[in-house]
Structure 1
């Protein structure tokens, strides 16, 4: 009797989940069937609410695959939280800076999940969900999204260690630097063979000499990127990196 009841519950669960998800997922795939068998209906409903809220606040279309991947992630997160296991997100700071809108929506999602499932979730979990939103907005894969964010983290760490100066992360120039690094990292990861010729050789030489400390830092970044990612940073890119770093750190170098 119990087995029969479980079978009926699973079938009913499958019908409810299918009604929510099949309008988003073209085919009721094997993956969805597997999730339905393993994950209670309430997690699918929670995912639906979170994604609807994300679409409304972000004003963007999200790839349909997020319905499955986010349900799986949320289920794993809640079960882990109930066991008292927390995972630190080493990309938390960078995610908050680079994807502010997605992170804000992810914080709302975390608050919703804590109330619905009566668990405590750290801010780190919002960063995990925010990256899933970002991945669903773009043509990059989740691995590429994480790699882009990690590269930004590595370059920012290198810059901080070079100058040994603490900068207010809320400053406009710091935000501009982070956005530029995100675009730069995206080019490195997703389109490494794009040619990029120097547009203004005279300006490059002027900036290189006038902002010597910032350019010396960029030279270290060049060496790191070439050694780690096998990517040669063009002089054009070096020019822009130098200007952005100078804006952030230049005013503090002689204090």
Structure 2
């Protein structure tokens, strides 16, 4: 959590001390790391550290947005499926099965193919591809909580079924889904970076980690820092989020 918070803080603070990430200086292109440019410059002479910080705001911010939308949508569908008998549960469960049968990145690519590239469409595509796993987990957790002693005690005390489900099952399910959603955030970061690497994310010259890797691969032998910096940021972010998810999972409830 401390390392992830540091990464986010640097993404917020660095822009105040670094040049505009989109300003070009071809006289200083592919400059090696130095005191003036701690992570060097890219093929257009832009400061890599400044672009890394700008990319963090887009990569991490977009990942949080996609994760929040996917989790809320999946939680809602999963709870409705678990707490609704018969036909509704069957229809929603089969819908989730259909979406889960398609790999998330393939589904996201299909959605982007229809909507077109761009950051907004990328968020929509990743959210549409990511809600189904959350729905499956939410339904499983909700069904497990329905028969828990605290729910049974509430029903025996005279609490109505809907109120018991809303006041007791829903919060317990949401907490259980949180750890899964946090782990899923790591997959979202990787997925967003992969799609941006393919040129389906933000439009140049806006900085984004996946796009920075794609732009720097042609100069890997001459300027390896162009790839090392954004890939290291992706690895550190995914590692921190994964460890945070493990910590949440191990927290007694």
- TM-score tier, shorter chain, comes to under 0.3
Higher relative contact order (CA 8 A, sep 6+): 2
TM-score normalized by the length of structure 2: 0.25
TM-score normalized by the length of structure 1: 0.25
